[in-house]
Amino acid sequence: MTGEVKHRGLITVSIMLATVMQVLDTTIANVALPSMQGSLGAAQDTITWVLTSYIVAAAIVTPVTGWMADRIGLKPLFLVSVAGFTLASMLCGIATSLEEMVAFRVAQGVFGAALVPLSQTVLLNINPKERHGQAMAMWGAGIMVGPILGPTLGGWLTETLNWRWVFYINVPVGILAFVGMLIWLPTSPKRQRSFDFFGFAMLSLAVGALQMMLDRGEQLDWFSATEIWVELALSIGAFWAFGVHIMTARRPFIEPRILRDRNLATGLAFIFVVGIIVLASMALLPPMLQRLMGYPTITTGMVIAPRGVGVMVSMLVVGRLMQRIDTRLLIFLGLALTAWSLHMMTEFTIVMDKWPVIHSGIIQGLGLGLIFVPLSTVAFATLPPADRTDAASLFSLMRNLGSSLGVSIVTTALAHFTQVNHAELAEHVTPFRPQVDPFLSMAGAYTPEQSLQMINGIVTQQASMIGYLNDFKMMMIVTLVMIPLLLLLRKPAKPSPGDDHHVVAE
Cα separation, 104 vs 85, in Å, equals 10
pLDDT at 234: 94
Cα separation, 285 vs 289, in Å, equals 6
With beta carbons less than 8 A apart as the criterion, state whether 213 and 228 touch: yes
pLDDT at 447: 65
Q: For residue 311, what is the enclosing H or E element?
A: helix 306-321
pLDDT at 76: 92
Cα separation, 103 vs 57, in Å, equals 10
Superfamily of domain 1-190: MFS general substrate transporter like domains (1.20.1250.20)
pLDDT at 195: 76
The dihedral built from the CA positions of residue 389, 391, 394 and 395, taken in this order, carries a sign that is: negative
- Angle, helices 115-126/74-93, rounded to nearest 10 degrees: 140
Cα separation, 235 vs 246, in Å, equals 16
Under CATH, which architecture does the 278-506 domain have? Answer: Up-down Bundle (1.20)
pLDDT at 327: 85
With beta carbons less than 8 A apart as the criterion, state whether 321 and 330 touch: yes
pLDDT at 492: 60
With beta carbons less than 8 A apart as the criterion, state whether 283 and 411 touch: yes
Threshold 0.85, pTM exceeds: no
With beta carbons less than 8 A apart as the criterion, state whether 30 and 141 touch: no
10-residue averages of pLDDT along the chain (506 residues): 66 88 78 78 71 78 82 90 95 91 92 87 82 75 73 81 90 93 84 78 85 76 88 93 86 79 88 81 81 80 82 80 85 93 93 91 89 83 78 80 78 85 80 62 61 78 92 92 86 49 30
- Asked whether the domain spanning 278-506 has the same topology as the one spanning 1-190, the reply is yes
pLDDT at 501: 32
Domain boundaries, the chain: 1-190, 278-506
pLDDT at 272: 87
With beta carbons less than 8 A apart as the criterion, state whether 54 and 70 touch: no
pLDDT at 191: 74
pLDDT at 443: 52
φ/ψ (deg, to 5) at 255: -65, 120
End-to-end CA distance of the chain: 18
